[in-house]
A and B are shown apart, each in its own frame.
Chain A
């Protein structure tokens, strides 16, 4: 057991109170409200609301648009998270072999994590613009090959790349720290056992990195679902033709553009359940395997 740095509980609570207050105000309270609203029929411009039981849920669950956006959310979660973990993993493994120190580099690298999704969206919207962006030459060679404005797949790719760029720094730093924390005697023992760099990476470093990999994967899965909003809102606005209308964006569109507050709240609750299930499944499937004692 480690000794608590605070001598008294009230003291600890005092220091935590701003965070608790913020979390309560901007997280728990809205969550409670969303759950409450999902059982009421809300008037778009205020006024009486009536308790309707599970009617909202029945309505949303029988709407094919909901299922389509949930499917897109699932696809985005996997196709965006996997590269956002794999690319930093490769970078970290490469960096671990060369750069053993350089704190400055690590600090600079983590900065993109501090950039809001919306800002990233604006930048990448420009980069991937079919007329002035970096892929413009492609269109000159093969007209129409790159067209995120009209092609759903292209639009989806822009989202994945923007999400990847956003995820690299943090995941890179976590994975690199995990690699650098491995005692180098494992690598020495493996070298003497005859393992070359590739086998060392696959047989020794990767399995020993499992706790950090698991951590970034769980975070990336849940975050990609939420973080996508800022990217979609600035880059594709859910289009073309609903191809990038993930559930987070649909909730926003239904609630604030379609004035269907009850429907939006219900979908919010369903999205929360979805995220919860994904996280729970990850813990159930993987956590037992990644635990090992040094």
Chain B
């Protein structure tokens, strides 16, 4: 799929609006605890926000509340200058791509895409022009007369995207749109989506539980845990400075090692034999990414097992305290034990009780 466009399809969407979410809360009827207790965030105009979190953390609920498919009884949602939380979906100007595509099975590809234009009473000539343009952009021109059942998964996905962008929406919502595709197609579509977003400029909110999608697509990632924002920051920052043990343990493959440590008399003993200064005594979680651990010097640790991934291998070690430590190493190593050391500037520190990052307590020398 090549995205060649003489004029941007979404001229109107160039004015993509910002989204303010203020004090949004949601409890499903009959549930004893809220899905979303109290959420406040600001998504900038034209920004691509990825909402990342484990299954069941309330991502779809949040997205549906933005779209108007789920009532938002508490709090405010503001698109630009319009307060929308009480408006019907059709009055909000959102379009959405669903995980299972939700293409109308009894309509052709062309009808699926221009259904919203028909409802909006767009004149026929313009409808046809827009369908043709979107179809060309998404390489669907040859498939316009087919039914969804006659399309492959990737093609259905593109029709679903076409149906969403044809109206030139100010806000584009995606609910795990790639999770039904196979790995190769998912990679391709991911890159195409990134390009597409740059072209149409709508404010996009993309829900996923896949960290690779989040890291590659997002301008900023909102990490959600039980309906609470753990961190809302650009991908590089989320990787370099996770705000909590939840974020640290959720991102990276394999994710960051978290080791229970104690700070006594202003010093923390590290598993590699060294120590590091700490401004407060007490219990902490020490974090270090597998790829930041240095091999060949320091304390010797026993190898539990190795996973060979071709480009590199992941080795699980046992620390002197009996905890598990993962390191990444060049492929094809052997041996029962490895010497490892922790570079000071790769260390993260989290409060043992709250799980929040307390990086500033470390005294690096």
Which residues of A are interface residues toward B (Cβ below 8 A)? 183, 185-186, 188-196, 199, 203-204, 207-208, 210, 292-294
Interface string of B103-147 (1 = CB under 8 A from A): 111100000000110011000000000000000000000000001
Q: Nearest chain A CB to B338's CB is how many angstroms away?
A: 50
The answer on a CB contact under 8 Å between B106 and A194 is no
Q: Distance in Å from the Cβ of B205 to the closest Cβ of chain A?
A: 13
Instruction: Knowing A208-B105, A292-B147, say if A193 contacts B119 (CB, 8 Å).
Output: yes
- 17 further interface pairs, Cβ-Cβ under 8 Å (given A210-B106, A292-B149): A186-B104, A190-B104, A191-B68, A191-B89, A191-B90, A192-B67, A192-B94, A193-B90, A193-B115, A194-B116, A194-B119, A195-B119, A196-B88, A199-B119, A203-B115, A293-B105, A294-B105
Q: Which of A183, A188, A192, A207 has the most CB of B within 10 A?
A: A192
Check if B98 is an interface residue, CB within 8 A of chain A.
yes
- B96 x A189 contact (CB < 8 A): yes
- Are A188 and B98 in contact (CB-based, < 8 A)? yes
* A192 in contact with B106 given A183-B100, A185-B98 (CB within 8 Å): no
Decide if B90 touches A196 in the complex (CB within 8 Å). Answer: yes
Tell me which residues across on chain B come within 8 A of A193, comparing CB atoms: 90, 115-116, 119, 163, 167
Which chain A residues border B68 with CB–CB below 8 Å? 191
Within the assembled complex, what's the spacing in Å between the Cα atoms of A293 and B103? Answer: 11
Tell yes or no: B69 within 8 A of A by CB.
yes
Bound complex: CA of A38 vs CA of B327, how far in Å? 91
Whether A192 contacts B100 by the Cβ 8 Å rule is no
Nearest CB of A to B84, in Å? 13
CA separation between A293 and B105, bound complex, in Å? 7
Cβ-closest chain B residue relative to A189: B102
What total of chain B residues lie within 8 Å of the partner, measured CB to CB?
25
Q: Please give me the residue from chain B that is nearest to A196 by CB atom.
A: B90
Closest 5 CB pairs of A and B: A293-B149, A185-B102, A193-B116, A194-B90, A189-B102
Option from B104, B120, B147 in Cβ contact (under 8 Å) with A189: B104
**How far apart are the CA atoms of A199 and B119 in the complex, in Å?**
9
A-B contact pairs, 16 of them (CB 8 A): A183-B100, A188-B64, A188-B96, A189-B98, A190-B115, A192-B67, A192-B89, A193-B115, A193-B119, A193-B163, A195-B115, A199-B119, A204-B104, A208-B106, A210-B106, A293-B147
Complex Cα gap A294–B88 (Å) = 27
**In the assembly, what is the distance between CA of A243 and CA of B100, in Å?**
56
User: With a CB–CB cut-off of 8 A, which chain A residues contact B95?
Assistant: 192
Shortest A286–chain B CB gap in Å is: 14
Per the bound structure, the CA–CA distance linking A196 and B91 in Å amounts to 11
Cβ contact within 8 Å between B119 and A207: no
User: Counting chain A CB atoms within 10 Å of each CB, which of B100, B104, B149, B163 scores highest?
Assistant: B104
Q: How far is the CA of A210 from the CA of B89 in the complex (A)?
A: 27
CA distance A185 to B103 in the complex (A): 9
* Interface contact B106-A207, CB-CB below 8 Å: yes
Among residues of B, the one whose C-beta sits closest to the C-beta of A193 is B116
- Contacting residues, chain A, for B119 (C-beta < 8 A): 193-195, 199
B206 → A minimal CB distance (Å) = 16
Distance of B292 from chain A, by nearest CB (Å) = 43
User: A185 touching B100 by the CB < 8 A rule?
Assistant: yes
Looking across the interface, which residue of chain A has its beta carbon closest to that of B173? A192
Instruction: Assess the A183–B105 pair: CB atoms within 8 A.
Output: no
Alpha-carbon separation in the docked complex, A152 to B267 (Å): 104
In the complex, A189→B102 CA distance in Å?
A: 7
**In the complex, which of the residues B102, B115, B147, B167 contacts A188, with contact meaning CB atoms closer than 8 Å?**
B102
One digit per residue, 1 when the CB lies within 8 angstroms of any chain A CB and 0 when it does not, for chain B 149-172 equals 100000000000001000100000
Do the beta carbons of B116 and A292 come within 8 Å of each other? no
Within 8 A of A (CB), among B65-89: 67-69, 88-89
